[in-house]
Amino acid sequence: MGKVTGFLEYTREDGPVRPQEERVRDFQEFHDALPEAARREQAARCMDCGVPFCQAGVMIAGMASGCPLHNLVPEINDLVYRGRMEEAYRRLSITHSFPEFTSRVCPALCEAACTCGLHTQPVATKENEKAVIEYAFRNGLVTEPAPLVRTGKKVAVVGSGPAGLAAAQLLNRRGHEVTVYERKDRIGGLLRYGIPNMKLDKTLIDRRVALMEQAGIRFVTGTDVGKDLPAEELTEMYDSVILACGASRPRDIDVPGRDAKGIYFAVDFLGEVTKKLLDSQFQEPPLDLVKDKDVLVIGGGDTGNDCVGTCIRLEARSVTQLEMMPKPSEERLPSNPWPEWPRILKVDYGQEEAIWKYGEDPRIYQTTVKEFLKGKKGRLKGAVLVSLKPEKDEKTERIRMVPEEGTERTVAAQVVLIAAGFLGSEPYIADSFGIETDERTNLKTAPDGHAATRERIYAAGDVRRGQSLVVWAISEGRAAAREVDEALMGYTNL
């Protein structure tokens, strides 16, 4: 441990961000880095706990506590404090495939479980991680050498999101011939088309994919396995197949007027915005989608927040965000002790920008849509909202949110974005491969494993565990790669 009293001497300091009035004019990343001396001070705050909860990655009360990748957080922080950035990168690379992604989009499970955060602010581990990986890229430390020996085994990875990319990376390093299939026109899955550019610059995906291509991984875009390419044909071509195609079936809102024109699923909307930006090299933002319109976002999670930030950049007249659940407490409740994930109020970048532009937080809690209202030619013109109240289900004894009579009110809305989560994998995936799904329509696998119900087929990421985080997808992809390697070779050294 480098700085024994660092957590007493230094307070948490995050990197600077571009002011709202500047950043909402473009779709570029807006988080800047701290100077090296300040970054080393932040790393010095790490306490090197006897029990580093930050790297545990365990489930507590149904929520993850600590990093699912089991990154060696105290060791990496100590090396950053000492200025030994190359060693910090080497240490981080033991457990992590793509720190450049998680250091931008992960909710920082490591920080939520940080012992320093029990009494003060947690260590800025996420920004420390970003500093390490960007130092490594700037100094040519990040390489992806082609394996010296090939095994003669061929593996297909269906889906190029974080789970698929992580699996492909490790299997290629082992010497297997790996081909990644992606149904979209560009590699990246939800990294590409589900997360806005201001949150994750797409050149970072291209930078990593270029290294993987140089190492021998083959990428095939515009091919929807199970439709364009039959599953049986794929299984004949490869020794093993990993399905990492995500939980891409969005949850809908079944109320009168749902067929009105102007209602979109959030991920489809975000993907369309990103594609138009990329196709025009960011010269033609698709302002026509929401400019001077009242936007209603249904869903209070990360995707809903991304919709808020995106609509502000597309010059929406107003943005309102609906959240079914009650407003969280601003501080931990006794029922939510550390190191559980803190169920507290979070104001993310989209809400910050909405407060700056419209003068108030866009979120309305305990509220949902009762009806969509149509105007001329079936176009959406508004929505009837209704308040919700908690009620215990007598059969299950679970609390559910039910409509409260007499609370209906109408709001103007010409665009609605449904960000209510996902139901699981799309049915044609399981049907085409002849494999089973569980009660949540996720692909069914062996207990504590990734082998599907058909020989030589594996599942990883959201398609197996349901909608989750990028860090969990990377963890799943790495674990699936180890299973496949052991099945192909009789042992694994991954």
For residue 48, what pLDDT is reported? Answer: 79
pLDDT band at 62; cut points 50, 70, 90? confident
pLDDT band at 153; cut points 50, 70, 90? very high
- pLDDT tens-digit profile of 361-377? 999 999 999 999 999 99
- pLDDT tens-digit profile of 249-298? 999 999 999 999 999 999 999 999 999 999 999 999 999 999 999 999 99
For residue 45, what pLDDT is reported? Answer: 96
- Interval 445-465 mean pLDDT: 96
3-state secondary structure the chain: CCCCCHHHHCCCCCCCECCHHHHCCCCCCCECCCCHHHHHHHHHCCCCCCCCHHHCCEEECCEEECCCCCCCHHHHHHHHHCCCHHHHHHHHHCCCCCHHHHHHHCCCHHHHCCHHHHCCCCCCHHHHHHHHHHHHHHCCCCCCCCCCCCCCCEEEEECCCHHHHHHHHHHHHHCCEEEEECCCCCCCCHHHHCCCCCCCCHHHHHHHHHHHHHCCCEEECCCCECCCECHHHHHHHCCEEEECCCCCEECCCCCCCCCCECEEEHHHHHHHHHHHHHHCCCCCCCHHHCECCEEEEECCCHHHHHHHHHHHHCCECEEEEEECCCCCECCCCCCCCCCCCCCECCCCHHHHHHHHHHCCCCEEECEEEEEEEECHHHEEEEEEEEEEEEEECCCCCCEEEEECCCCCEEEECCEEEECCCEEECCHHHHHHHCCCECCCCCECECCCCCEECCCCEEECCHHHHCCCCHHHHHHHHHHHHHHHHHHHHCCCCC
- pLDDT tens-digit profile of 86-134? 999 999 999 999 999 999 999 999 999 999 998 899 999 999 999 999 9
pLDDT band at 394; cut points 50, 70, 90? confident
More confident residue, 425 or 84: 84
For residue 247, what pLDDT is reported? Answer: 92
* pLDDT surpasses 80 at 2: no
For residue 179, what pLDDT is reported? Answer: 98
Q: Quote the pTM value.
A: 0.96
For residue 4, what pLDDT is reported? Answer: 87
- pLDDT tens-digit profile of 397-407? 888 999 999 99
* pLDDT surpasses 70 at 1: no
Query: All domains of the chain, ordered by start, with CATH?
Result: 6-138 (1.10.1060.10), 154-247+423-489 (3.50.50.60), 252-420 (3.50.50.60)
* pLDDT surpasses 70 at 236: yes
* pLDDT surpasses 90 at 392: no
For residue 425, what pLDDT is reported? Answer: 87
- Interval 403-425 mean pLDDT: 95
- pLDDT tens-digit profile of 193-214? 999 999 999 999 999 999 999 9
Q: Give the mean pLDDT of the chain.
A: 96
